[in-house]
A and B are shown apart, each in its own frame.
Chain A
Amino acid sequence: MALSQILVHLGVLLLLPPLLLGVIQRTKSRFAGRRGPSLVQPYRDLAKLARKELALSATTTGVFALAPVLAVVTAVMAGLVVPLGPFDAPISFAGDFVLFAYLLALGRFFTAAAALDTGSPFEGMGAAREVGFAWLTEPALFFAFFALARLSGSLQLEDMLRAPEGELWRDSTVALALVAAGVLIVLLAECARIPVDDPATHLELTMIHEVMVLDHSGPLFGLVEYGAAVKLLVLDVLLMHILVPAATVRGWLGLGFFVLGVLAVAVLIGVVESTMARLRLLRVPALLVAAVLSCGFALLLLGR
């Protein structure tokens, strides 16, 4: 693979994520009858955080500072396994979907470890919630991957995501719809969106993801936010590939479909956030189990 291709891939992966946050925010604002902030506001917010002073609690250790960096690194590396529409994935090998899933898990592990590192009862509570929900998103994701592997006959994420096109897409609509529903729930849960979590709330007792990073400030908090945005893009791309097979067409057409598809998924997230209330925390596992079942059932359908 040419260096230029890798650079383009990395460029998209690094530059696009804040725009998704802007699109979601804009969608939510429109539903609320407001104009909403500019689409580039998340970039400005990150720039602002980067310039801010860093306050480190005396009780924390190196894990606390390391976690945000690892969150970004793991999310970007997970992005390198995934094809971006017409662009091939820079890293691709049989079974790379396992790497993908555990890169995300690694980022989460360190975020939770950093939360426990602060010794704050809030953050411990948040870490418990995050980990308690993640063990349900992981099987859902794996069932989705198994279904796609079955469909494509490949164990490479690149082929798995590109397989649902043409006749194959038409023939297995039901199974793919089930996978898409499951992946959407995984996306909402992993990226701390409504109905699982509320990224806009200031109420620390109700938070899941945000409460884990309450003690991070300045550039480190910027990294946390940025890492979350990259993760959002990566999962968004995953879902987009299932929903918009035309995005894998080579050339400008595919690129156009890719960008539109990714933004459309962001709009979809915004619509979900605008029209639903948050679930009761106790009910979140039920939703995640539904995602597991949805993807598992897709696998059954394809396995006939």
Chain B
Amino acid sequence: MSGADRFLRTTAGVAVARREIPALPVAELADAVVTACDGGLRVAAWFGVPRPSGVELVAVLADDARAGIALARATLTGPAFPSRAAACPQLHLFERELAEQFGLVAEGHPAPAPVRSQPPLVAPAAGAPAPALPGTGELYRVEGQEVHEVGVGPVHAGVIEPGHFRFQCHGEQVFHLEIRLGYQHRGVERALIGGPDRRTIHYLETSAGDTTIGHATAGCELIEALAGTAAPPRGAALRAIALELERLANHTGDLGALAGDVGYLPTASFCGRIRGDFLNLSAELCGSRFGRGLVRPGGSGFDLEPARRERLRAGLDRTFTDARSAIELLWESSSVMERFETTGVVPREDALALGLVGPAARASGVDRDLRRDHPGGAYRDQSMAVATAASGDVHARARVRWLEMEHSLAFLHATLAALPEGEVRVPVGRLAPESLAVSLVEGWRGEICHVALTDRAGRFARYKIVDPSFHNWSGLARALRGGQISDFPLCNKSFNLSYCGHDL
């Protein structure tokens, strides 16, 4: 019996009753996940839900080939669960998180370190040791006279988020990079339990500030799915417009930052300004440069009148022309290309094994984009071209971003030209009780997965957010292996991952 058959097949954006999700024994569920991943599915979320009888484990797998998701669950009563991280590396961080959030032991996990050093979601057993502070405890260590260890952070020289990076080096060469996060933990998932309420949307918008639209869209699609409604076409189109503007702004900022990291000033200076111009287009849409207040359960908080729509289209063309002239300088400068090419390579098989998502995965030749594979909202009506590259290096990650910007521009023009008529927002009723829904949104950084389970009263019993950064930090560590320590900032920028999005 193949593992995939043990799952409930459904699609993202559709609520299912909890009792419909097959409940398997814990070990069988773990094995089924491994078998399914061998068969081409991948782990979108793998988490625990506190139940009176123990911990309910929920597996959400994405089936990109069939535009579907696969669900299964198991109830764990003991203090340990069997780890499958060695067979299925993309599980490793999910298992560590699960162990940490419920005070469990991942039996057989190759590197069972805490993920965020946060207290468990459930009350810890009496006498349980307090969680260690982030960045403390044993780190992986290479022994030897000629090996030296470099620790960077959590306080960094630039205005960036805190995280600790520990390099095991031989001269300039990196043997191993261990990334320890958790400094940005705010308890967002815990705070969302009991919702949705008036605070919910603000928690969603601030899950990762640079992905306001992405996370808010994922959350709202989830709430709409559980309420059995959907955003009206015009509202969905406005959300998609905001999502693509967010992508344009962030990709521009990233390309500028990449140029800055190699000391190439022309692109670096101009992209900083152009990113601001793209953010101003978001402000044109809803009054907030980061899109706060635009995405609301049931649709969009703002409409777009014809006059503003024309201003948006004109501004988009103007800004994109500037972006093109600044960014194309990169590909034309041999000194920049020399730095980008062959730096920080993530081979395709490693990208697949680690379950990378978003531009980082596509740069390693993984043809995966939720806007095409699991289309929701306005993406159902319009096909989205997917940009990939084969080399998996910094150049590929930069190039994929630029190609995505061009695709976003085409999508924006098509959507703005044929904006559906009608209302922008519909009322959202009560959520279905004892149900589960999954939403998948391709944010600028990659796959944003939100999963919610409701209780008998239709309130959130558990809200799980998987930011793309959660998948991709492992990719950064892989990219550095065997590379030069002086290339770390460049590699880091080419992934540009979120610390707070990881630490939810």
Contact = CB atoms under 8 A, between A and B. Distances in A.
Interface of A: 28, 31-34, 121-122, 124-125, 128-129, 194-195, 198, 200-206, 273-283
A192 B122 CA distance: 54
Given A273-B265, A278-B262, A195 B270 contact: no
A31 B343 contact: no
A34 B270 CA distance: 10
Contact of A121 (B148, B339, B486, B490): B148
B36 to A, nearest CB: 39
Contacts, number: 89
Interface stretch (B56-64, B127-135, B151-159, B225-233): B151-159
Interface string B148-176: 11111000011000000000000110000
Among B150, B158, B269, B486, find the residue whose CB has the most chain A CB atoms closer than 10 A. Answer: B486
A147 B259 CA distance: 38
Among B158, B265, B333, B336, find the residue whose CB has the most chain A CB atoms closer than 10 A. Answer: B265
- 7 closest residue pairs by CB, A with B: A32-B269, A203-B489, A278-B263, A277-B264, A277-B262, A202-B157, A277-B335
Nearest to B330: A277
A125 B173 CA distance: 12
B484 interface: yes
Given A128-B171, A204-B157, 18 more contacts: A31-B266, A121-B148, A195-B335, A201-B263, A203-B489, A205-B488, A205-B489, A206-B486, A206-B490, A274-B265, A277-B259, A277-B263, A277-B264, A277-B333, A278-B339, A281-B172, A282-B484, A283-B338
Contacts of A279: 335, 338-339
A76 to B, nearest CB: 29
Given A32-B269, A125-B485, A205 B263 contact: no
A150 B116 CA distance: 67
B269 A33 contact: yes
Given A202-B158, A203-B158, A281 B484 contact: yes
A276 B261 CA distance: 12
Given A274-B265, A281-B484, A281-B486, A121 B335 contact: no
A274 B266 contact: yes
B265 A206 contact: no
Interface of B is mostly: helix
Contacts of A274: 265-266
A17 to B, nearest CB: 22
B152 A198 contact: no
B485 to A, nearest CB: 6
Contact of B336 (A129, A204, A273, A277): A277
A103 to B, nearest CB: 29
B406 interface: no
A195 B265 CA distance: 12
B415 to A, nearest CB: 32
A34 to B, nearest CB: 7
Interface residues of B, number: 33
B263 A194 contact: yes
B339 A205 contact: no
B284 interface: no
Contacts of A125: 150, 485
Contacts of A205: 150, 152, 485-486, 488-489
B395 to A, nearest CB: 12
Contact of A282 (B150, B158, B172): B172
Contacts of B158: 202-203
A203 B261 contact: yes
Interface in B228-273: 259, 261-266, 268-270, 273
A224 B487 CA distance: 26
A186 to B, nearest CB: 19
Interface in B468-486: 484-486
B262 A203 contact: no
A280 B264 contact: no
A186 B259 CA distance: 25
Contacts of A275: 266
A282 B482 CA distance: 13
A275 B270 CA distance: 14
Given A206-B489, A277-B262, A277-B333, A34 B150 contact: no
A198 B264 CA distance: 10
Contacts of A200: 263
Given A205-B488, A282-B484, A121 B150 contact: yes
A280 B338 contact: yes
A128 B486 CA distance: 13
A124 B333 CA distance: 33
